[in-house]
Structure formats: structure tokens, C-alpha cells
Chain A
């Protein structure tokens, strides 16, 4: 075990230097021009906000089912299927009918089925029905129909969340899908997430509806921002979908902040027609079920642009414009987890983490020197090499370093010497019975090999499981712990062994103290 061929030595040191050199990239003041790799600091170290958002597609499913009412009735009439007792449930439609077989055929037709489209990806229809009694059926979304609604709502939400966050202008946000219903948002450097939370908390569904004088059919009562209760028609003149731009403005006449908007061609047409037909009436601007304002239509607006006023502060006008520009969220978003770390706490954490790393390192180094003298020195050289390689690999992977991650490095320092301790203790034992020192070292290394492997693989298993189940900071710990084990094995079995061989082969058969 002590004989190294020249080529082996070359390979060992090349690997070491190649990996270790990356660790230096982190200490440069300026970014290197060739390689821009660096260890990222986790939110707990650099400060920032972590938000986990969840969509709730229940109301969306309800709306989608209501949208099916008209096509369903039309289909039934066209095919002359009589139905009675039609009921709209929460997320279902149910009715009585006699000719279920006939209905089945039409309902599950793959050709031009507008009511119940066939989803090729899942090989499933969007809807399904089940018999409640012999002549009553209930229509509901199939498993894959629900999945399709959910997935498209999630994708759309991610897109809109991204637009809104980009618009606020935070640096390097991370926006990712997490599972089937969640969106992960990481905002490094953000000190107070309240504004972002407020912006993401609004679905921002905007529509323009006429105000009605009396409470006739198709009218609902809505409350406006200043407490006025108005009867507003349920019929939507135009919705936020037709908006192509919105900007905050100051009204020249009364210095009041307003939001001006521009409509697309279709929107401009709709808006023009309605305002021409309804001059003199009031038009309610409804945002998320609340009236922002309800100005009177003084003249037809055909230019395709307009203005919303409503006692805004300039900040509110800016935010409203931002929300309108980014579009409406398909479902409300709920913040289900939030973690924010201030920048000064992050700095403190780095300081205390690094201090404890250095002190722990020094303690271990002195202890090993005291215990094993020259071989302690070898173990220490291996330990430093280990640390450099660990940081090097983290840099190559551009891993994220968290506070628990620093703890993982310190723990690696403490546990890394174990491999060398196992080997040295074994050699000590061999020296008791073996006359040839070289032979004792040789058998010591080979016998300890299996133990070292077994012992480290168990820790590696723990690290891998931690990595797959842990979240955020804990994952950072698992990464450093796991990589630390691999670099430990390398440095103990290659670097330290080579250094040991140099010492042993050069002392020949003189006394050796371990």
C-alpha cells in the first residue's frame, strides 16, 4: 500500500490541484474573466425572502363547470334529448333524463366534442358522468380534467408572479414550481416582503360593468371604495384581458394620481360600442369584486385608452398599474410558508459561522499534532487539502452555502480525521507484532480500508436521505456533509497515504513513533 507509481502520484496531485484551485475563485475581489463559478450564499446568509405560494383552484373549477351549462343545454337540445330538474352544484351539474345510452354516445364522442374535449396527453375526456339514480346523472370533471385545469392555472400563475416580481425590480429572483399546487419564490436581498406579498395576494381581475338604476335580474350589489353601494350589472362590458398597457399618472386638473390604460383592438371596439350606446350612464370599474370607481360616461370613448381614478395615493396607483399590466391571476394565491432574514443577521451568521469554523479547525489541528506528532502533521495537511477540495467542489457545483451548511463543513473537519485515526491506530497495532515497519504500515492501511469505507458509507447514506427530504437550509447541510465524506476518503487514502509513505520510506528501519 505504500508503493506509488509515478503516474499514480501525478494523477492524485493533479486531481487535488484541479479541484482545490476552484476554491480560490471565492476569495477574488472581482469575478474572474474566464470562470465565473462561485459558491452562492443561501438566503439565511445573505438576507432575503423565501415565499411558498399555493394556488387554490376550487373556485376556478366551479367557474369552469358553470361555463359548461350553456354548451351542455345546447347539445341536449340539438340531439333532442329531454332533460328535467337541471341543477348546478358546487363543481357538478346534474339532471334527470331517460335516454342515457344516447347521451353517453354523444357525451363521449371524440369528434368535434366542444362540451367534453378529449385530452390526447392523458387519453381521457375532460368530463365524466355518473349515475346517481336510474334516471339522474351528475356531470363532473374527470381526474385528468381537474389536473389540466390545475396545471394550466399553475403555469399561468407562475408566469404572472414572475411578471409582477420583475416589475417591482428585485435582483435575481428565483421562481419555481414546487409540486402540483405550489410556487416557490426566493428574493435575495429583499428586506421586507410585505409589498410583494400584497401584490401577489391580489388576483387583479378587472372588469368594466354598467351601473343599473334598479335591482332587476342579472344585477348584483357591490360596495365601492368610499362605501357607496351600487347595483351593478353582471354582464361584463370589457375585462382586463383586453388591456395591453397601464401606467400611473398624475391628473393635470386636480393633481390626483390615476392609472391610464390602453386597450387592444378588440377591447377598443367593445369599449367604444358600449360607451356610445350608454352615454349618460355610469360605468363601474370593478377590481376583484370591489368597485374602484364608477364614473359617468360623458361621451363615447373610441380611442382605445382611458383613465381610472379612485382616490389613490401615488404608490397605490403605481401598484394598480403594475397589477393590470401583469394580468390577472387565474386563482387566488395563498402564502403558506414565509421566511425572511434581514441582511445584518445574515452577516452576523457568516461571521459566527466562519469564526467557529476557524476555531474548530485550530482545535482539531492541535489535538492531532499532540496525539500523533509527525503523522498528526500529515493528517492535518490532509485536513487542509480536504477543506480546499470541499470548497472547490462546492464551487464547481455552484452549490448554495447555508448556515447549517457551514456547520456541515465544521462537522466534516471533526469527522474527517477519523479516517486517518482509524488507519494510524491500526498501524500502531500492527507495529506491536510486526518487525518490519514498512510491512506494518502496509498491512495497517489495507486492514483499515474496509472499516474506513464501511464507516463513511453509513454517514453518506444519512447525508443522501437528508438531501432528498430536507428543505432549504437543511439541504445545504446535507450537501456539505456528503461531499465532505467523499473528499475525506480521497485525502485520507491517497494524499495522506502518499505523505506517510514518504516519511516511512525515508526513515527506513529507525524508530518510528505514531
Chain B
């Protein structure tokens, strides 16, 4: 890890690339939209285990019931299925026992209803709202924390990097039509924490190097600092990814979406702390004087 890599020569290309991906993510989120799960859209979810019944048999049984939009898909092992029924206007509590009864009567096999969830329209919109508030609040809290620990340029830089990570992660979820549920919100918030963690380590070094080498410009300082912390950045990403891969592969079907979002987030977060958060300081004309100004303010 001793050789010095020239990151700054790639900054321009990386920034263009980031901007492109960021904008297309926004376009996807706006026009293709996000695939909200029942947590945020309302509706009914049933996970069941059968003796290798065909999905089409379940589909045709449910189709007869006039439930509206029904989605049946394989979930993990053979014979395990996940049924999702869209929320209907009327909120009655009888839909679940009705579906259970129909399936048991028509499929001629033992059915194990492993999980049943039903979220009403009011609750789902509240959950979505509090999810959005939580993510916005965490971004604001990070902005504030970096602002008191560093200077405002750093604070804005780190938020842009965070925004970049969150939007691209959601963009990929939109492109792949992956489901957004409560655990994905948890993953996004953890990504915010992780990506911030990475950015702070590099910023810390940039701050230190700025006061140490005041003849270098910010791009050179960024390059130097990224190299200084590169080993740590890679090792921590690797250990975190090892843990996440273990959840992704062995943690079961329920945690798969969560761990996938986290893996994406760690990769994007690591990339962004090097190629977004560091170069962005150049645009704010950060020099060693930026630090001195703050010192003057504190000690009048």
C-alpha cells in the first residue's frame, strides 16, 4: 500500500460519471418510480410453505377471488411463496381469513402460513412519512455535526456525497424494481452513517495535511490524504463487506433486500468519499487559510 496512486487525475472523469449516474437515478426514481412494499403502500402479504405446489395454482385460485392486483412469487426454497395483495379501497379485516380458507380448500395440500402481514392505508402513509423524515433528519444531523467539527465547506461536501449515495442506492433499487420496505429505510440510514464515517476519516486527514503542508493546493492535499487513508478505507470496506456478504448469502430471504442495499451502500459510500467528497472541496476554494479563519473565530 506504499505506492502513491494519482487519484486527482481521475477526479474529473469520476465527477462526470457520478453526475451522470446521479441524474439517471433521479430520472428512474421520478419516472419508473420505486417499488414500495406493503409497509409503504398498504396491502396484504402472505408467506406460505407448500409441498411443491405450482405458483400458477396459487395464482388461479386467487384470481377467482377478485382481489385486485395480486402478485405471487417464489420465496427462497421450492414450494415457498410470497403473495402480495394490493390495498383495496375498503378496509375490512376479513380478507386474510378469506384468502387462507380459499387456498386451503382449493390446493389439496397442507399449507403452512409462515407469515401474514396487513398494513392499512393510513398506517402505510404514516410509515412512509416517518421514513422520509428519518432520512432527512439524519442528513441534517450529519450536516450539523460536520459543521461544528469542521468548516462549512466540509459539511456541504459531505452532505453532497451522502445525497449522492442515497439517491444512487435508491436509483439502483428503482432500476432493478427491488422492493422498498421498512428494512430498506434502516439500510439507507446505516449507509448514511457508514458513508459519513468514511468521509470523516478522509476529511480528518485533509484537515491535518492542510495545516501541515500549506504550500500544496487542495487537490494535491486531497490526493495525499486519500493515499494516506487508503489502506484503512479498503480494509474496513472489506471487513464490512465480508460481514454483509455473510448476511446476504446465509441470512435468509427476509434479510436479503436489506443486506443487498447495505452492500451497494458500502461500495457507493467508499467510492463517494474518495471521488465525490474529497474533490468537491476544490469547488469551495478550501485552502489552509480556511482553517485559520475558524481558529480566529474561536480565539478572538
Contact = CB atoms under 8 A, between A and B. Distances in A.
A86 interface: no
Contacts of A481: 190
A357 B245 CA distance: 11
> How would you classify the secondary structure of chain B's contact residues: helix, strand, loop or mixed?
helix
A2 B25 CA distance: 49
A414 B93 contact: no
| Residue of B93, B130, B134 with most chain A CB atoms under a 10 A cut-off | B93
Interface in B246-284: 246-247, 249-252, 254-255, 258-259, 262
A340 B117 contact: yes
Contacts of B134: 465-466, 468-470
A422 interface: yes
A421 B255 contact: no
B114 A349 contact: no
A338 B194 contact: no
B197 A456 contact: yes
| Interface footprint category on B | 35 or more
Contacts of B112: 342, 344
B202 to A, nearest CB: 10
B222 interface: no
B171 interface: no
Given A335-B93, A336-B122, A466-B186, A371 B235 contact: yes
A421 B232 contact: yes
B229 A425 contact: yes
Nearest to A469: B134
Contacts, number: 216
A406 B259 CA distance: 12
Interface string B109-137: 00011111111101100010011011001
Interface string A396-411: 0000000110110011
Nearest to B185: A474
Contacts of B238: 367
A359 interface: yes
Contacts of A336: 91, 119-120, 122-123
Nearest to B240: A414
Interface in A411-470: 411, 413-415, 417-418, 421-422, 425, 428-429, 450-451, 454-463, 465-466, 468-470
Nearest to B262: A411
B197 A418 contact: yes
B247 A465 contact: no
Nearest to A337: B123
Interface in B121-170: 122-123, 127, 130-131, 133-134, 137-138, 141-142, 145, 149
A192 B87 CA distance: 21
Interface residues of A, number: 72
A352 interface: yes
A459 B193 contact: yes
A343 to B, nearest CB: 9
B115 A415 contact: no
A349 B244 CA distance: 16
B254 A471 contact: no
Contacts of B259: 407
B226 interface: no
A349 B198 CA distance: 31
A191 to B, nearest CB: 8
A201 B93 contact: yes
| Residue of A194, A338, A422 with most chain B CB atoms under a 10 A cut-off | A338
B250 A459 contact: no
Contacts of A368: 239
Contacts of A175: none
B243 A422 contact: no
A454 B149 contact: yes
Contact of A403 (B189, B193, B198, B255): B255
B239 A414 contact: yes
A345 interface: yes
B242 interface: yes
Contact of B130 (A340, A371, A469): A469
Contact of A337 (B47, B120, B138, B189): B120
Nearest to B195: A458
Contact of A422 (B120, B201, B254): B201
A417 B229 CA distance: 15
A461 B141 contact: yes
A306 interface: no
6 contacts: A337-B123, A360-B244, A458-B200, A461-B141, A461-B145, A462-B192
Give 8 nearest A-B pairs by CB, closest first.
A414-B243, A462-B193, A360-B246, A352-B252, A459-B193, A469-B134, A414-B240, A356-B250
Interface of B: 47, 91, 93, 96-97, 112-120, 122-123, 127, 130-131, 133-134, 137-138, 141-142, 145, 149, 182-183, 185-186, 189-190, 192-194, 196-198, 200-201, 204-205, 228-229, 231-232, 235-236, 238-247, 249-252, 254-255, 258-259, 262
